[in-house]
Amino acid sequence: MAGQLQISKKIEISKVSDECSLYFAQTPTHIPFPIKRIFFITETYTLLPRGYHAHKKTKQVLFCIQGSIKIIVDDGKKREEIILDSPEEGIFLDRMTWIEMHDFKEDTILLVLASRLYKKSDYIRDYHLFHELAKKENDKA
């Protein structure tokens, strides 16, 4: 992952030893919230670009534990492009961060740790609505 991140935050973990490819992350050392849910995306050769949403309340940490993926994030003011291609580097996405996922390499596995249980109503899937809500929050701050 190159460059300075402004919207997302890099999370670094390391392999426990060279004899076994075991990596771990724990809260609060690496994950800045208590984990309520995990999900993972596999068989990415079948996938088109994904995401195109933001979460009203959920915070997430993403690890690409195999393969690679291009992530675009947007906080309503600026956009950032990140290549996740190592199990040792994840990203933290705060609530109200728009995410798009592109260019999945074949057989990529994306692991996501989330701060809240799944709730359909937590998703904002309309970019214009997201932009409006993010602007309101930014103006208040």
What residues are labeled active site?
A: 53
Which residues here bind ligand T46, judged by CB under 6 A?
Answer: 37, 39, 41, 50-51, 60, 99, 112, 118
Bridge partners, 60 (sequence order): 93, 114
> Residue 70 CB, nearest distance to ligand T46 (Å)?
13
> Residue 18 CB, nearest distance to ligand T46 (Å)?
30
Provide φ and ψ at 24, rounded to 5°.
-140, 155
DSSP string, 7-38: SSEEEE--BS-SSS--B---TTTT-SS---EE
> Residue 55 CB, nearest distance to ligand T46 (Å)?
6
- For ligand T46, the closer CB: 41 or 109: 41
